[in-house]
Amino acid sequence: MKRIEAIIRQQRVWAAKEALAFLGYTDVTEAEVRGHGIQGGVTQQWRGTDYTVDLLPKSAITVVVNDDDLDDCVDVIVRAARTGLIGDGKILVTPVESVVRIRTGKHDPQVRNGAH
């Protein structure tokens, strides 16, 4: 199993979640985050004074997927989140050793039907 964390533009979250749901992965965690990459933020002007906003609002979506579905899931997130502009975000993929359902205490050896 793999954990996919995508840091993307807030306005692209809905499209990314819909794309993952189409592949059967409906259990997604979403969080509002702030950060910056290469662009280092943006310079704005307020009442004639320039100031830099270095931590830009983004969204992080996290989903755990079976190894066989990794490439398809990453691909649909990229297609849903890409605008072609700087600041589109990043996707991080990490291995997952196991999943434990809190309600039952059961250890799942893989993600079933997109549920984790």
Q: Decide which of 55 and 53 is more confident.
A: 55
What does the alpha-carbon distance between residue 27 and residue 57 come to, in Å, rounded to a whole number?
Answer: 23
- The percent of residues in the chain predicted with pLDDT above 70, rounded, is 87
Q: What is the pLDDT of residues 76-97, one digit of tens each?
A: 999 999 999 988 999 999 999 9
- Alpha carbon separation from 60 to 7, 33, 51, 71 (Å, rounded): 4, 6, 26, 19
- Alpha carbon separation from 3 to 33, 38, 66, 80 (Å, rounded): 18, 24, 9, 18
Give the largest CA-CA distance in the chain.
59
- 112 close to 25: Cβ distance less than 8 angstroms: no
- Whether residue 50 has pLDDT greater than 80: no
- Whether residue 115 has pLDDT greater than 50: no
**Would you call 59 exposed, middle or buried from its count of C-beta atoms within 10 A (0-12, 13-18, 19+)?**
buried
The sheet carrying 89-95 orders its strands as: 29-35, 56-65, 2-8, 89-95
- Whether residue 113 has pLDDT greater than 90: no
> Which of 60, 63, 72, 80 is CA-nearest to residue 1?
63
> pTM of the prediction?
0.81
Mean pLDDT, the chain, integer: 88
The predicted pLDDT at position 43 comes to 67
What does the alpha-carbon distance between residue 111 and residue 1 come to, in Å, rounded to a whole number?
Answer: 7
